[in-house]
Amino acid sequence: MPPAPKKRRRTPRQLLRGVRRRTRRAAGRVRRVFWRSLQLRVVTSTMVISIVVVAVLGVFLMQQIVRTTLETRESAAKSEAQADRNAVLGYLNQPAEAAKQPVESGQALQPGGSSPLSQATEALARRAGSASRYSVIIRNEGLSGEFYGTTNIDPVSIPARQRDELFKKEAGEDSTWYTPLYYKGQPDQPVPGMIIGTRLDTWGTRLDSSYEIYHLVPLDKEEKTLASVQQMIILVGAGLVLLLAAISSLVTRQVVTPVRLARQAAERLAAGRLDERLKVRGEDDLARLATSFNEMAANLALKIHQLEELSQVQRQFVSDVSHELRTPLTTVRMAADLLYDAREDFDPMAARSAELMQNQLNRFEAMLADLLEISRYDAGAADLDVDSVDVRDVVLRAVADSEALAERHSTRFDLRLPGEPCMAEMDSRRVERILRNLLFNAIEHGEGRDIVVSVAADRDAVAVAVRDHGVGLKPGEENLVFDRFWRADPSRARTIGGTGLGLAISREDAILHGGWLQAWGSHGEGSQFRLSLPRVAGAVLRGSPLPLVPPEVEMRRTWRGHMTPVLSPAVADGGRDAD
């Protein structure tokens, strides 16, 4: 047993390409689902708008709460700072004899001392309570600039830049700023805080100096409170968005469900189920819509029934007349053939009359054959005599049958046939009739210019294109040309007799083969008819080996689209110099 082939490893570029392809497919599926569901679009729009509104309101509300909280805390801290300042000033202004120990330069003020600053520090510590409320640091500018605090607060919490700003302020003027607070023993765990600094001058007293008093207020509790409020706002906002989405989904469902039922009923009605009706519930707008739909369906069913009866009568009339005309036509044909064969024995006037009668009988027989053929299609009695044939031979036979007519109109055929056989399973008689009709139509409207007949084949299909360079078709006439008795220009005199059923019968023949018969035309550029047939009878036709729009026309339009935006006025006007 030969070894199993190794699986080829994919390169990173191939993997990335595969991921992009799968992502595009997923995005395409999501996009299709989104645009096909009205309820999904309404719910999505409601959620997006709700998220934006809730986010804006949440940010605004949070800002107001933060501002109010900080303003309240700052106002209370300033009131306490003012009271502490007055208390410190009272201790520093004691009479000299009340002081048990003079203040010496460089002495640290700590609770438990007997100097005025020690007493003031002890008093501030008692007023502040725990360190979680606030701490006080006093700096004596005249005693080598040392800091003295009521708790284990670290003086590094006070930024140097703010101290410089405070030094420039007047005595008693406050300065507030927000900064992290550090505690001794915990340098890596700062807490958010607020510092209120003020200057205290004691010039003219026995302590002739200047002091800086800093109140350090920790805001960790406020931060936790604000974080809890923020989480609550987010949860409430998310719940509100989901609630609005649920409400919009419920409301939309009440509207979309009747509309969806109406759509399904309309689809079934379009499929031919004329007895389809909607249930009417209530008396609101949707109920009136259901009532109107039911009335429309009933009237439509009635009209279709009447049209079907009329169409059946018309088809039966055409079929009966066509069959009934064959018997007298056969008798007239026998008599006309005798007269036509003996025309050389008649005088010139009678001989000419015999020839005209023969020609008109041939035309009448062709018209009768078309009527019979279209009546067989209407009755569903048409069938195929399938055989494997070379499409090139069928085209050559159709061209040979059209040569005489082309010579009378000074028209030449330009055949573009492949070098190898193009075999396909088809009814050669019907396909040859299609091609004759297309060639006759091209001769009729080609205005004497060459007619190009192209044949091509691929693995699944064969195609024949008939291209003329006549007046062409107006926009929207590409489908009308296959209607029964339709003419592009009613005022145009016909040079080739017919019933006006040729292209209609050709389309029915193409459909019977499971193929396509399509038309393209542009005013002034002529027209092209393309017949596409599957190579195997009964196969599904998925494409055509020939383009519907002639390549030279497509190339010219592409060239104009690329060149027109960059042409100068002189070139665009055909080479004339622009003034």
SS3 of 190-208: the string is EEEEEEEEEEEECCCCCCC
Mean pLDDT across 401-422: 89
In angstroms, the CA 114 to CA 100 distance is 6
Q: Per-residue DSSP letters for 507-540?
A: HHHHHHTT-EEEEEEETTTEEEEEEEEESSTTPP
Task: Let me know whether 376 and 400 are in one domain.
Answer: no
- Within-domain flag for 134: yes
What confidence score (pLDDT) does residue 307 get? 80
Task: Let me know whether 178 and 326 are in one domain.
Answer: no
Q: Is the model more confident about 537 or about 4?
A: 537
Output phi, psi for 329, to 5 deg.
-65, -35
Helix H or strand E segment including 553: helix 551-563
State the burial class of residue 226 (Cβ atoms within 10 Å of its Cβ: 0-12, 13-18, 19+). Answer: middle
What confidence score (pLDDT) does residue 7 get? 55
Task: Let me know whether 324 and 394 are in one domain.
Answer: no
CATH of the domain at 415: 3.30.565.10
What confidence score (pLDDT) does residue 146 get? 64
Residue in the block written with tokens 């406050």: 174
- Give CA separation, 533 vs 329, 452, 465, 503, in Å: 36, 19, 12, 16
- Give CA separation, 76 vs 62, 133, 568, in Å: 21, 11, 78
CATH of the domain at 326: 1.10.287.130
- Within-domain flag for 457: yes
- Within-domain flag for 318: yes
Q: Is the pLDDT of residue 456 over 90?
A: yes
Crossing angle of the two packed helices 116-128 and 38-92, in degrees rounded to 10: 150
pTM of the predicted protein model: 0.46
Task: Let me know whether 528 and 400 are in one domain.
Answer: yes
Task: Let me know whether 209 and 111 are in one domain.
Answer: yes
Confidence band (pLDDT; 50, 70, 90) for 202? low
Task: Let me know whether 289 and 367 are in one domain.
Answer: yes
Confidence band (pLDDT; 50, 70, 90) for 111? very low
**Beta bridge partner(s), residue 467:** 452, 528
User: What six digits make up the tokens of 217?
Assistant: 């207020």
In angstroms, the CA 529 to CA 523 distance is 15
Confidence band (pLDDT; 50, 70, 90) for 455? very high
- Give CA separation, 29 vs 35, 41, 104, in Å: 10, 15, 85
3-state secondary structure 132-192: CCCEEEEEECCCCCCEEECCCECHHHCCHHHHHHHHHCCCCCEEEEEEEEEECCEEEEEEE
Q: Is the pLDDT of residue 354 over 80?
A: yes
Task: Let me know whether 321 and 428 are in one domain.
Answer: no
Q: Which among 382, 414, 435 is the end of a domain?
A: 382
Say how many domains are in the chain: 3
Task: Let me know whether 423 and 547 are in one domain.
Answer: yes
Q: Is the pLDDT of residue 91 over 80?
A: no
Q: What percent of the chain has pLDDT over 70?
A: 80
Q: Is the pLDDT of residue 387 over 50?
A: yes
- Give CA separation, 438 vs 65, 332, 394, in Å: 83, 31, 13
DSSP 8-state class, residue 153: B
Residues 6+ apart with CB under 8 A from 320: none
In angstroms, the CA 230 to CA 66 distance is 10
Asked if 443 and 436 count as a contact pair (C-beta separation under 8 A), the reply is: no
In angstroms, the CA 102 to CA 107 distance is 10
What confidence score (pLDDT) does residue 552 get? 82
Q: Average pLDDT of the chain?
A: 78
Task: Let me know whether 505 and 365 are in one domain.
Answer: no
Task: Let me know whether 471 and 526 are in one domain.
Answer: yes
Task: Let me know whether 143 and 213 are in one domain.
Answer: yes
In angstroms, the CA 149 to CA 569 distance is 87
What confidence score (pLDDT) does residue 96 get? 46
Q: What percent of the chain has pLDDT over 90?
A: 13
User: What six digits make up the tokens of 494?
Assistant: 């016909």
Q: Helix (H) and strand (E) counts for the chain?
A: 13, 12
Question: pLDDT digits over 211-251, tens only?
Answer: 778 888 888 888 888 899 999 999 998 898 888 888 888 88
State the burial class of residue 127 (Cβ atoms within 10 Å of its Cβ: 0-12, 13-18, 19+). Answer: middle
Confidence band (pLDDT; 50, 70, 90) for 467? very high
Question: pLDDT digits over 423-432, tens only?
Answer: 999 988 889 9
User: What six digits make up the tokens of 415?
Assistant: 């055949």
Q: Is the pLDDT of residue 85 over 90?
A: no
Of 226, 248, 181, 239, nearest in space to 69 by CA:
226
- Within-domain flag for 448: yes
Q: Is the pLDDT of residue 460 over 60?
A: yes
Q: Is the model more confident about 532 or about 370?
A: 532
- Within-domain flag for 577: no
Confidence band (pLDDT; 50, 70, 90) for 118? low
- Within-domain flag for 182: yes
Confidence band (pLDDT; 50, 70, 90) for 396? very high
Mean pLDDT across 159-170: 75
In angstroms, the CA 558 to CA 576 distance is 24
Q: Per-residue DSSP letters for 324-362?
A: HHHHHHHHHHHHHHHHHHTGGGS-HHHHHHHHHHHHHHH
Q: Which among 181, 197, 219 is the end of a domain?
A: 219
In angstroms, the CA 202 to CA 386 distance is 123
CATH of the domain at 162: 3.30.450
- Give CA separation, 255 vs 39, 41, 246, 259, in Å: 9, 13, 14, 7
Mean pLDDT across 7-23: 78
Mean pLDDT across 356-374: 77
- Within-domain flag for 315: yes
Please, what is the end-to-end C-alpha distance for the chain in angstroms? 84
What confidence score (pLDDT) does residue 103 get? 37
DSSP 8-state class, residue 2: P
Mean pLDDT across 70-91: 82
Please, where are the H alpha helices in 419-547? 428-445, 477-480, 502-512
Q: Is the pLDDT of residue 491 over 60?
A: no
Question: pLDDT digits over 308-350, tens only?
Answer: 787 777 667 766 776 677 778 788 888 888 888 888 888 888 8
Mean pLDDT across 361-373: 75
Confidence band (pLDDT; 50, 70, 90) for 3? low
Asked if 106 and 120 count as a contact pair (C-beta separation under 8 A), the reply is: no
Mean pLDDT across 289-307: 84
Q: Which among 351, 382, 413 is the end of a domain?
A: 382
Confidence band (pLDDT; 50, 70, 90) for 360? confident
Mean pLDDT across 110-134: 64
Q: Is the model more confident about 62 or about 273?
A: 62
Task: Let me know whether 450 and 543 are in one domain.
Answer: yes
- Widest pairwise Cα distance in the chain: 171
What confidence score (pLDDT) does residue 98 get? 45
- Give CA separation, 541 vs 154, 181, 462, in Å: 88, 81, 10
- Within-domain flag for 9: no
Which structural domain, as residue segments, surrounds residue 448? 387-488+500-565
Mean pLDDT across 93-107: 44
- Give CA separation, 171 vs 141, 158, 175, 201, in Å: 13, 19, 11, 6
In angstroms, the CA 99 to CA 537 distance is 123
3-state secondary structure 216-240: EEECHHHHHHHHHHHHHHHHHHHHH
What confidence score (pLDDT) does residue 4 get? 54
